[in-house]
Amino acid sequence: MAQDDPVVSAQWLHEHLGMPDVKVLDASWYMPVENRDPWKEYQVAHIPGALFFDLDGIVDRTTDLPHMLPSEEALAAAISELDIKNQDKVIVYDGKGFFSAPRVWWMFRVFGHKKVWVLDGGLPQWQASGFNVEKASPDDDAVLKSIAANRAVKRVYNGEQTNTISFQTEFQPNLFWALEKVAQNVTAKTYQQIDARAKGRFDGVAPEPREGVRSGHIPGSVCVPFPEMFDGAPPSLLLPADELRRKFQHAGISLDRPIVVTCGSGVTACILALGLYRIGKRDVPVYDGSWTEWEGQSDSDYPKVTAPGTA
């Protein structure tokens, strides 16, 4: 484990599993079209001792946008219910290997927790390494803690009393961008904008997975699809630093200039942030609302590129 690298190996986690200051989170989440239930899958098979982190439950409850970053108080209340302390090392994984876990890695960092890593290759790599998984029953402590975390978020947004908050947060504004910051950058072009979605969605020729959302991209953006961060053989592992550098440079990205990352709804952008962290770019902000929010704004105030060759 290294502070300057964002991932840990399955072997490392296996050797340190059960240590009191190592907390493991299953942050599995899937696109709506996949028809998969991460909560049910967690109860069928998860890394021993892991708690479930609900990306659709630990959210900003004041917006209709999917899984937006919750308030500091809400996040702190949820993490406290998961019994995670500021001194703990947090290891996050997901059921695909690299998909939603980097989002939770980013969330912890946005709120000031630096002792957080993604499990390289996720649950597929864990199982491919021959390590055991366990089931959960409805009355298990891990299940009850995960349910309590979601309820804590609801209580905060309802203005109700929460349990004692033991996890302290410190918001890092340099890692989080909202709509207007992106709008300013479209004009100023200070930050290079990288979009993690597939090229077809970026170009406006393949549909978005969310009903009513046009495909296309924010003007000035460059497409680096998130699977390019991994090696080819399943289970996918994060590429070495030199290969990651080549990927970004091949896309025309200058690693000497600032970068902001975006995607469809703020999840896979965090995979790009993870790759950039490995090559030393540790202050890369994520546009939380991403294309789903941007596309929903007026075209006159928030221009879009919705087909090849258009501005």
Query: Which residue in 263, 267, 274, 284 is the catalytic one?
Result: 263
For the question of residue 263 being annotated catalytic, the response is: yes
- The tokens for 89 are 């090392």
Whole-angstrom CA distances from 282 to 174, 254, 277 are 10, 15, 5
- The pair of structure tokens assigned to 122 is 């996720």
Report d(CA 159, CA 227) in Å as an integer: 41
Q: Which two tokens stand for residue 170?
A: 């410190």
Contact by Cβ (8 Å): 274, 209: no
- Phi-psi map region of 221: left, alpha, beta (phi>0 left; psi -120 to 50 alpha): beta
Residue 291: is it exposed, middle or buried by C-beta count within 10 angstroms (0-12/13-18/19+)? buried
Helix-then-strand count for the chain, H and E: 11, 10
Known catalytic residues? 263
